Amino acid sequence: GQQVMQIPQYQHVQEGEDFTTYCNSSTTLSNIQWYKQRPGGHPVFLIQLVKSGEVKKQKRLTFQFGEAKKNSSLHITATQTTDVGTYFCAGRAGGYNKLIFGAGTRLAVHP
Amino acid sequence: EAQVTQNPRYLITVTGKKLTVTCSQNMNHEYMSWYRQDPGLGLRQIYYSMNVEVTDKGDVPEGYKVSRKEKRNFPLILESPSPNQTSLYFCASTAGSTDTQYFGPGTRLTVL
């Protein structure tokens, strides 16, 4: 079945350093979404990418969707302590029904 | 305020005692889902519903039931809970126009 692999599982950075998490799918995706979950909280939708090679920015966050629509990345420039949490990608392969989540990357930011 | 609510937020129960976790959304969304979250496994979809009276299995449906009699409510039913269903459960509803998924606050279930 469809799988979405996400790496790294955990990343520990100093405040001000950059951070990147990567997602790879075993199948071509129709779109990919990214979520952030703060400790003790619920996932919060960040963005959706649909087009091959798409790049979107939200302030210090840059999201990319690969040309083959099988991989994606989230890059945070100059991390802040407010960036702490777990970032999940979620891919949809054809149809509207199933959204497959990656296992998440837990980001710790030390001041 | 647009939101997804779940109840209860925390539940400790014993094996075999039927329970229901309620989920309600006030955004008039057609699509709703239930997920379970376990360490290292991310979020796995249990069931989803594309509209009233339309439900389908996700990736891990065994041991769960759902119903969708009204658009706003999507309860999750565990007829005979077992310890392997101890988990954090999230309900979510999706805005069809933007595909944005809104999650509820979660229900932490422990089955002894």
Residue B11 has pLDDT above 60, yes or no: yes
Chain A to chain B Cβ contacts (< 8 Å): 50
Residue B98 banded pLDDT, cuts 50, 70, 90: confident
Tell me whether B102 touches chain A (CB under 8 Å).
Answer: yes
Residue B5 banded pLDDT, cuts 50, 70, 90: very high
What's the rounded mean pLDDT across residues B5-26? 97
Tell me whether B39 touches chain A (CB under 8 Å).
Answer: no
3-state secondary structure A13-52: EECCCCEEEEEEECCCCCEEEEEEECCCCCCEEEEEECCC
pLDDT at B97 (0 to 100): 77
Out of B58, B100, B106, the one facing A42 most closely (by C-beta) is B106
What's the rounded mean pLDDT across residues A18-28? 95
Work out the end-to-end distance of chain B between its first and last CA atoms, rounded to an integer number of angstroms. 36
**A19 to chain B nearest CA, in Å?**
20
Do the chains contact at A103 and B58, CB–CB below 8 Å?
A: no
Please give the residue of chain A at the shortest CA–CA distance from B4.
Answer: A42
What's the rounded mean pLDDT across residues A58-74? 97
pLDDT at A93 (0 to 100): 76
Question: Which is it for strands A19-25 and B54-57: parallel, antiparallel or unpaired?
Answer: unpaired
Tell me whether B43 touches chain A (CB under 8 Å).
Answer: yes
pLDDT at A95 (0 to 100): 61
